[in-house]
């Protein structure tokens, strides 16, 4: 066989194995193979939502030994992600212990954390023994695993998905369960519904950390129709009135991928900039931004806790400032 033909065939086979076996989810159940194996193994272990949680290390050992002959770190990272309520709109695993934070803190080692399934995982697993899906042999033929999970709702829309394969990538935002269920019922009643009609039920994505979507509806429709597009999200805030005409701004929701620590770091960079490499003094832009922020902002505090996952307090330099102008300058920066 000529070398170029062999290389082309080998590369295509490799690319397809990455696409199907690791990086991209199945539309049918919205899961990547490692996620599907985690859920099935935990169900096999009797770790339903009412059961006593067990050490994550034991779950990872079961997954590696029976279904997923890869590194333990990849399996545990997938398990952690499925337990984070700031990553998934509807977490499938109920994690006990430190499973990280939206500020970028990592999870504790698997020997310290515990896990069991959440009630919503039943959407994926409850009909698995009813002849609904095909089972295939595992990697050594000793056990069987489901080729897909019998999802009762399109989980690929509910939790979204993110992955990069060879020549392909996906970035599906999460959506609201009630809206998606209503759209499913409408589609069953009338299979001819187009995208615009379905958007009467699902107006757009619904991110786990909240935030305001400011993309126009027609742009979201174009993204749904073509499979390409972007969704702009900004923080959610309210102006809190205080005594004697004072006020402050409370930010209660942040866009996906951002955190209170990132916001504070950017404000610190603006108000106390560092001289750039190769320069002796601050640039004119840095000086302008510094004077603008110092004239606008008195102090910023992060009051986030277990009750309020996000609570950033912005206090203005003077209560005579216009709150809307104050907000617009903060958003612009």
**Pair 26, 93: CB distance under 8 Å:** no
Counting beta carbons within 10 angstroms of the beta carbon of residue 113, is it exposed (0 to 12), middle (13 to 18) or buried (19 or more)?
A: buried
8-to-1, 2, 236 alpha-carbon distances in Å: 11, 10, 50
Residue 209: CB atoms within 10 Å: 21
Contact 331, 230 (CB under 8 A): no
Q: For the chain, what's the residue count?
A: 333
Q: How far apart are CA 71 and CA 313, in angstroms?
A: 43
CA torsion angle 279 285 290 295 (round to 10): 150
| Alpha carbon distance 110, 6 (integer Å) | 42
Which residue bears the tokens 């935990």? 42
Token look-up 């515990």 returns 114
- Among 112, 139, 201, 224, the active-site one is 112
Give catalytic status of residue 112 as yes or no.
Answer: yes
3-state DSSP assignment of residue 259: coil
DSSP 66-92: HT--S-HHHHHHHHHHTT-TTT-SS-S
Q: Is 231 helix (H, G, I), strand (E, B) or coil?
A: coil
Nearest one of 222, 93, 88 to 158, comparing CA atoms: 88
- C-alpha–C-alpha distance, residues 74 and 79, integer Å: 9
Nearest-10 crossing angle of helices 260-271, 284-296: 110
Residue 298: phi and psi, rounded to 5, are -90, -55
What's the DSSP call for residue 142? S
Give the residue numbers annotated as catalytic, written as ranges: 112
């Amino acid at each position: 066989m000529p070398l170029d033909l062999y290389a082309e065939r080998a590369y295509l086979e490799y690319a397809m194995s990455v696409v199907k076996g690791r990086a991209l989810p199945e539309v049918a159940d919205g899961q990547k193979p490692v996620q599907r194996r985690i859920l099935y193994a935990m169900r096999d272990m009797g770790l339903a939502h009412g059961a006593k949680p067990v050490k994550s290390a034991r779950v990872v050992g079961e997954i590696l030994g029976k279904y997923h002959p890869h590194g333990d770190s990849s399996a545990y990272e997938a398990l952690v992600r499925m337990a984070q309520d700031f990553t998934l709109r509807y977490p499938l695993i109920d994690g006990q212990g430190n499973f990280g934070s939206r500020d970028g803190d990592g999870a504790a080692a698997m020997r310290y954390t515990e896990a069991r399934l959440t009630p919503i995982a039943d959407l994926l697993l409850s009909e698995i023994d009813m002849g609904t899906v095909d089972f295939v042999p595992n990697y050594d033929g000793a056990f069987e695993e489901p080729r897909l999970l019998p999802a009762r709702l399109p989980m690929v829309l509910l939790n979204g998905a993110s992955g990069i394969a060879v020549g392909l990538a996906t970035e599906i935002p999460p959506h609201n369960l009630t809206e998606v269920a209503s759209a499913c019922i409408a589609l069953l009643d009338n299979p001819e519904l187009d995208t615009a009609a379905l958007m009467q039920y699902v107006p757009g994505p619904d991110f786990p950390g909240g935030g305001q979507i400011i993309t126009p509806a027609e742009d979201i429709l174009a993204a749904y129709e073509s499979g390409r597009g972007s969704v702009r999200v900004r923080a959610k805030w309210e102006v809190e009135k205080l005594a004697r005409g004072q006020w402050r701004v409370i930010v209660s929701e942040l866009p996906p991928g951002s955190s209170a620590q990132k916001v504070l770091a950017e404000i610190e960079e603006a108000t106390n900039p560092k001289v750039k490499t190769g320069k002796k003094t601050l640039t004119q832009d840095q000086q302008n931004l510094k004077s603008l922020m110092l004239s606008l902002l008195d102090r910023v505090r992060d009051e986030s806790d277990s009750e309020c996952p996000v609570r950033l307090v912005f206090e203005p330099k003077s209560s005579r400032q216009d709150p809307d102008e104050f907000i617009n300058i903060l958003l612009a920066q």
